[in-house]
Amino acid sequence: MNKQPDKSPDTVWHRATVTRQRREQKNTHKSVVLWFTGLSGSGKSTLAHAVEEQLHQNGLNTFVLDGDNVRHGLCSDLGFSDKDRKENIRRISETAKLLLEAGIITLTAFISPFKAERAAARSLMPHGDFIEIHCFCPLTVCEQRDVKGLYKRARLGEIKDFTGISSPYEEPDNPELRIDTSRLSLEESVQLVISILRARNILSV
């Protein structure tokens, strides 16, 4: 894992009077981080945005951190080497932690291929506030979908360090939720996520 930058001795953490608990009370729901992980083409972003749509329609405060979108801004300086992937996930993890404190239901949609980086993300959040959702889909199905044409380019050698082809994907051992997106419909998948949120008393919708 990348070494964390040294904290400046001239900075002191400022404790705000408006706390996460007060924000949750105002929002009338708890905050949580839903971490969607899986191969490219497994349906992470599609599912995360569909879940957000349903939550939004029910009046909940949400935000999706999408892999491609984040690389247009916060992580636009990063490539796709193992080192840069780790830094990408580190930044997203810290951002998700801030949104958790803001009282928002945060949905992250990233391949996040390495167990160590997902574990590091989990370790930043209070116990129970990080829900890992593995969007399982066989590589052959992901390649058949190839919605962005990336697998074809990776097979031709045009894209280096491509997860599932020339770079590994380490499947979660014990995710809170595992969804086979090759077999379940989008609506069925959304309801599985909503169900776990209800079971954990994060929402009552």
Q: Number of folded domains in the chain?
A: 1
Answer yes or no: is 50 within a domain. yes
Residue written as token pair 């129970």: 128
pLDDT digits (tens, 9 = 90+) for 144-177: 998 788 889 989 888 888 898 988 999 999 999 9
Cα(185)–Cα(135) distance, rounded to whole angstroms?
A: 12
pLDDT digits (tens, 9 = 90+) for 119-151: 999 999 999 999 999 999 999 999 999 878 888
Rounded to the nearest 5°, which phi and psi values hold at 174? -140, 65
Catalytic residue among 112, 123, 185, 204: 112
Check if the beta carbon of residue 32 is closer than 8 Å to that of residue 202.
yes
Check if the beta carbon of residue 99 is closer than 8 Å to that of residue 63.
yes
Answer yes or no: is 96 within a domain. yes
pTM of the predicted protein model? 0.88
Answer yes or no: is 15 within a domain. no
CATH number of the domain to which 92 belongs:
3.40.50.300
- Annotation says 31 is catalytic: no
Cα(6)–Cα(21) distance, rounded to whole angstroms?
A: 30
**Domain residue limits at 190:** 20-199
Answer yes or no: is 192 within a domain. yes
